[in-house]
Amino acid sequence: MPTSPGSSKGPDWRPAASLQTLRLRADLLARTRAFFAARGLLEVETPQLSAAAATDLHLESLAAAAPGGGLSGWLHTSPEFPMKRLLAAGAGDIWQLARVFRGAERGRRHNPEFTLLEWYRVGWDAPALMDEVDALLRVLAGDAITAPARRTSYRAAFLEHAGFDPCTAGEGEIAGALERGGVSLSAQAGLRRDDLLDLALATLVEPAFDPRRPTFVYDFPASHAALARIRPGEPPLAERFELFLGGMELANGFHELTDADEQAARFRTDLERRRERGLAAPPVDARLLAAMAHGLPDCAGVALGFDRLVMILAGAERIDDVLAFPWGIA
């Protein structure tokens, strides 16, 4: 274990981020609050500890339990569900800077505890919210981002950078494109079509984007809807977008699903798939479903990784460089 200067033993107590970076972070937090205050959104706070957990295949909630079998629950992976309960209660446009937790996430761009900036706009759709995400970037980044944001559909991005149509390609065609792109699948047996598409997005499509230019990818396949509504058509498409900047995903937004029955069905499907893969099947958020049944207003919402944005603006290569005490010295 590293030791602090001037002592013979003992753990390193010093922050990972420089004081200069921590001052930049504080300035960005202040400007974020000013941005939403000027636009009339209500800042809210919701619990980090919940009786329910995320069912998403790609998220692992951290369990929290008191010694002796007392209180137990889950640390939230996002403030989305309680914020939607506030929307159903009539809160209107809301936003939050939330500390969130995700298991099995540790690396150059991941810390198990991180800051998520999340907000919801009542009566808005995905394109309108993309405009506001871009406006926030301009306020926070200043001269660091000079190129106008690019917008491309998921389908167009794959055709341009991966060489296949993600709406029609079979598993074999996707796997072939990955292999030709230098991605070995030998150690990733059991991947399904949606898994292969996710891998192709991360390894073939995303790296082709200009890291200095914000790039919005919208209209995802219906099978990637998550909590977004699906627009009928041929093919049906999820009204979802992701923002890429600095060579990484920065934000994920939806024109939100408001149908409680459809949401309950998606939760059931998630749990079935988790069981098939040997993953834990956590309790579903029944209070969210009750709020949606009461009436979730038509709205769009987005979650932005605040630490990653600080990384981009600080020129940092690792998330540890913008956190005072990342996992390992926390």
The model's pLDDT over 131-172, given as tens digits with 9 standing for 90+, comes to: 999 999 999 998 888 889 999 999 999 999 999 999 999 999
Q: Helix/strand/coil (H, E, C) string of the chain?
A: CCCCCCCCCCCCCCCCCCHHHHHHHHHHHHHHHHHHHHCCCEECCCCCEECCCCCCCCCCCEEEECCCCCCEEEECCCCHHHHHHHHHCCCCCEEEEEEEECCCCCCCCCCCEEEEEEEEEECCCHHHHHHHHHHHHHHHHHHHCCCCCEEEEHHHHHHHHCCCCCCCCCHHHHHHHHHHCCCCCCCCCCCCHHHHHHHHHHHHHHHHCCCCCCEEEEEEEHHHCCCECEECCCCCEEEEEEEEECCEEEEEEEEECCCHHHHHHHHHHHHHHHHHCCCCCCCCCHHHHHHHHHHCCCEEEEEEEHHHHHHHHHCCCCHHHHCCCCCCCC
Does the pLDDT of residue 4 top 80, yes or no? no
Task: Judge whether 157 and 147 are in contact, CB under 8 Å.
Answer: no
User: For 84-88, 105-109, 267-271, 320-324, which range has the lowest pLDDT when averaged over its residues?
Assistant: 105-109
Evaluate the omega torsion of the peptide bond into residue 235 and state whether it is cis, within 30 degrees of 0: yes
Question: pLDDT band for position 113 (50/70/90)?
Answer: very high
CATH number, span 19-147+211-322:
3.30.930.10
Does the pLDDT of residue 12 top 50, yes or no? yes
Dist CA 291 CA 286 (whole Å): 9
Q: In the prediction, which pLDDT does 8 show?
A: 54
Q: Give the predicted TM-score (pTM) of the model.
A: 0.94
Question: pLDDT band for position 264 (50/70/90)?
Answer: very high
Question: pLDDT band for position 115 (50/70/90)?
Answer: very high
Does the pLDDT of residue 290 top 80, yes or no? yes
Q: In the prediction, which pLDDT does 6 show?
A: 46
Closest CA to 86 of 118, 59, 60, 114: 118
Tokens encoding 288: 């969210």
